[in-house]
Structure 1
């Protein structure tokens, strides 16, 4: 499948990890859950929590080990995100590019980049409203 805003094609992503049995070095499920909750309360995003668990605690992934997604673990413990992570990162990028364009008004390539980021955000918002992860009356104007 081709990329969204370029004419290039790319290779597919990484393969899913297939665990047949639990590795001996792996910590227990309760310790993994405690670490996830502690890191989330420290302000890390879900992707950063996964990277830190992989690098520091040798957890190959939360989903293959605990058979739950990280968002399910957080929801069971009362931690709910109001905006999905990928959308919040796109909003942050959009704000940075807009701030750059205020200082550099003739930067046409960044203006196009800002428009592409906005189209990705609107597409994601439409998807999240359709699937129910965002409420039907959620508006992008509140965050921008």
Structure 2
């Protein structure tokens, strides 16, 4: 499939191995994994950062290659059950951070036309995601603007 704002195709990435059970070398208790997930969320880590930390650091010294295989639930599901979920979806928040950075850069460098286009593309992706999440994850009357993005990112 082609990319959204170019005519090129994306580079292929690696796929996860198709397994139904965690590896035998990772025998971590599911409750310990869930406690560690909630602890990392309270420290301010996003779900993807939590997965990386569990993969690299593990729980009690034992790495957790896949949270869903170890616990039977995704990281976001664990966070929802423990009321540690963030207000905005992670992908939308990351795009808003990028748009704010690009807008600040454009204020300092108004002649940077390449980044002007990157800002337009990023804002287009944000608006598309807002339409996707509207009603379920975010409010019905939410509309994206630079000011609302700055306010949301400063609140968290």
Q: How far apart, in 2, do the equivalents of 1:63 and 1:22 lie? A: 9
| 1:49 alignment counterpart | 50
1:31 aligns with 2:36: no
Task: Report the Cα distance in structure 2 between the residues aligned to 1:52 and 1:6, rounded to whole angstroms.
Answer: 33
The correspondence for 2:115, drawn from 105, 110, 113, is: 110
Distance in 1, Cα, partners of 2:21 & 2:66: 14
Gaps of 5+ in 2: 151-156
SS at match of 2:39: helix
TM-score relative to the length of structure 1: 0.90
For structure 1, which runs of at least 5 residues remain unmatched after alignment? none
User: For the aligned residues, what is the CA RMSD?
Assistant: 1.6
Show CA shifts across 1:39-90 (max 9, x none): 1111111111101111122212112322211111011111122110011111
Instruction: Give the equivalent residue in structure 1 for 2:18.
Output: 18
Instruction: Answer yes or no: is the 8 Å Cα contact 2:95–2:122 preserved in 1.
Output: yes
1:20 positional shift: 3.7
| Displacement of 1:140 | 2.2
**Aligned 1:74-89 pairs, distance under 5 A:** 74-89=79-94
Aligned length: 143
Alpha-carbon contact 1:45-1:85 (below 8 Å) kept: yes
Partner of 1:143: 149
**Residue deviations 1:94-143, cap 9 Å, x none?**
0111111111111111100000000000000001116x122212232432
C-alpha separation between the residues in 2 aligned to 1:89 and 1:21? 31
